[in-house]
């Protein structure tokens, strides 16, 4: 039986590039879920004058393909402008690795989405978003699906930790079915604020816990 991974995939799996968490990144993206088997976080440091990605890191939870594709995508993005990095495709990543088993193609898609999420986060934080659609409850819900519930390994929406979402005149109110003194309360609140505060028309975000 032929081994399903190329030598380049194995090389990036055994010796991944740009691994680790970046403190105070200019942009951060998180895609996937450990409960689904794969997750990747991407961190960016961008030169504000040239818009070039000067440093990039990733953290991965998953299989060899997940780690290898995240590694190769950070290599492809480093040194590019954010506009150039947006154009990196999962097909390009797969080709750079010499191919992936069809069943693992989603890993390259996940890594690309992580990169694009980090770029979008950077653009929102720096007022670079050109398409300024009004923030709705659906937009908030979509963002909160990227906030993990550490107790379940799934996001806080699917695990019904979020009981209510409201937006009124730029003020967002999110109710969580979690006591404020819970061990994960502070971390979840920080993640929620990070995902919602960067939206262009949001003035204030209130996270309310059950007492």
Q: List the catalytic residues.
A: 36, 107
Q: Which two tokens stand for residue 76?
A: 């492809």
Instruction: Report how far residue 202's alpha carbon sits from residue 139's, in angstroms, rounded to the nearest whole number.
Output: 12
SS (H, E, C) the chain: CCCCCCHHHHHHHHCCCCECCCCCCCEEEEEEEHHHCEEEEEEEEECCCCCEEEEEEEEEECCHHHHHHHHHHHHHHCCCEHHHHHCCCHHHHHHHCCCCCHHHHHHHHHHHHHHHHHHHHHHHHCCCCCCCCCCCHHHHHHHHCCCEECCCCEECCCCCCEEEEEEECCEEEEEEEEECCCCCHHHHHHHHHHHHCCCCCCCEEEEEEEC
Task: Give the count of beta carbons closer than 10 Å to the beta carbon of residue 106.
Answer: 19
């Amino acid at each position: 039986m032929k081994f399903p991974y190329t030598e380049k995939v194995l090389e990036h799996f055994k010796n991944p590039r740009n691994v680790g968490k970046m403190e105070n990144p200019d942009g951060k993206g998180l895609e996937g879920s450990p409960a689904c088997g794969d997750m990747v976080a991407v961190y960016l440091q961008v030169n504000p004058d040239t818009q070039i990605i000067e440093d990039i890191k990733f953290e991965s939870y998953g299989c060899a393909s997940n780690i290898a594709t995240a590694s190769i995508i950070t290599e492809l993005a480093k040194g590019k402008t954010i506009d150039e990095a947006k154009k990196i495709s999962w097909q390009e990543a797969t080709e750079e690795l010499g191919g992936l088993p069809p069943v693992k193609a989603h890993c390259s898609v996940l890594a690309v989405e992580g990169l694009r999420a980090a770029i979008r986060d950077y653009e929102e934080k720096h007022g670079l978003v050109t398409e300024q659609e009004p923030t709705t409850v659906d937009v908030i819900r979509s963002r909160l699906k990227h906030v993990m519930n550490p107790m379940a390994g799934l996001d806080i929406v699917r695990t019904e930790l979020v009981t209510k979402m409201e937006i009124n005149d730029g003020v967002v109110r999110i109710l969580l079915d979690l006591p404020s003194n819970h061990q994960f309360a502070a971390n979840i609140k920080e993640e929620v604020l990070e995902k919602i505060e960067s939206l262009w028309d949001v003035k204030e975000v209130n996270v309310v816990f059950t007492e």
